[in-house]
Amino acid sequence: MSKFRFAALAAGLFCALPAAMTAAAPAQAQAALNALQAINDKIDAQVVPFKVVIPGGLCDSAGQGTSTAEIVIDSDGAEGEFVVTSIIFGTTVPGVPLTGFEAFSINHLEVDGDRFYIRSGNLLGPTDGSGVYEATDIMGTPSRRNGDSEAPLAGGNFPHQIVAQSNDTDDIHINFFCSSDDDDLSFANILVAGWKRPADTITVTYTPGN
C-alpha cells in the first residue's frame, strides 16, 4: 500500500470517528436515563416503617348494652398498599378499672370496604394491683369460639398484619365492644405501626364508644 493510500484511509477513519461518537451519544444518554429511572422506580417501590400515636378516650360509658368504639386507619397514597402490623392500646389513670381489659373485645374488621366479622373474646383480665397501667396489642388476638370469659375456647386469630390499598377511602376500620355495667375503660393513647411508601401519610382516628 502506498503512503498516499494509507494516509487517505487514516484520514477517512479519523473523520468517521466523530460522526460515530455523535451518533452513539443519544443512545448512551438514553441508557443513562433508563438506569436512573430504574433506580427511581426501585426507590418508589420501597417501603419505610411508620408509627402514629393518637390520644385515646373513653371506650365504654358503663351503660346498658355495648359500646361501638372504632379506629379508622387511612393512607393518602395515590397508589399502592400499606401494612399495619401493630395496634397498641394504653390505659390511663384514672380510667383503669379493676377488671382491666375484661370487657374489651373486637367485633369486626373492614378493609377497603370488605367487612370481616372476627369476634374476639375479652382481651385481658386485670393486671395485679389496683389502678395499674395496662397496654395490649390487638394484632393476632385469638378469635371467639364461645362466650365463656373464664374458660374461653381458642379459635383462629385476628390478623397478625393487615394489608390495605390507598384508594381514597378510609382504608381500615376496626370496631370494638367495650361492654361493662360497672366499670369505665379509658385509653390514654393508641399506637398504630407498620410499613408504608416513603411519600405516603398515614392518619389514625379513634371514635370513642358510648
Pick from 59, 63, 61: nearest CA to 105? 59
Looking at residues 49-64, what average pLDDT do you find? 81
Let me know: does 198 contact 48? Beta carbons within 8 Å. yes
DSSP for the chain, written as a single string: --HHHHHHHHHHHHHHHHHHHHHHHHHHHHHHHHHHHHHHHHHHH--EEEEEEEEEEES--S-SS---EEEEEEE--SSSEEEEEEEEEEE-SS---TTTTTTEEEEEEEETTEEEE--B-----PPSSSS---EEE-TTPEEES-S-SSSPPEEEES-SSEEEE-SSS--EEEEEEE--SS---EEEEEEEEEEE-TT--EEEEEE---
Pick from 87, 210, 105: nearest CA to 149? 105
Looking at residues 29-57, what average pLDDT do you find? 83
Give the pLDDT confidence of 161-188 residue by residue, as tens digits. 999 987 767 799 999 887 666 666 778 8
> What confidence tier does 28 reach under pLDDT thresholds 50, 70, 90?
confident
**Predicted pLDDT of residue 17:** 46
**Predicted pLDDT of residue 35:** 83
Looking at the DSSP bridge assignments, the partners of residue 190 are 54, 89
Q: Give the start-to-end residue ranges of the domains of the chain.
A: 1-45, 47-207
Lowest-confidence pick of 13-22, 47-56, 130-139, 145-154: 13-22
On average, the pLDDT of the chain sits at: 77
How far, in Å, CA of 210 to CA of 203, rounded?
23
CA 80 to chain CA centroid, nearest Å? 12
Using DSSP bridges, classify how beta strands 142-144 and 154-157 pair: parallel, antiparallel or unpaired: antiparallel
Pick from 82, 145, 136, 78: nearest CA to 111? 82
Give the pLDDT confidence of 88-112 residue by residue, as tens digits. 998 776 556 666 677 788 889 999 9
Pick from 66, 200, 69, 59: nearest CA to 134? 59
Q: Is the peptide bond before 94 cis (omega within 30 degrees of 0)?
A: yes
Q: Does CATH number 2.60.120 belong to domain 47-207?
A: yes
Alpha-carbon distances of 67 from 13, 58, 110, 194, rounded to whole Å: 87, 10, 18, 27
Looking at residues 63-88, what average pLDDT do you find? 83
Give the pLDDT confidence of 106-146 residue by residue, as tens digits. 889 999 989 999 888 777 666 666 556 778 899 998 887 77
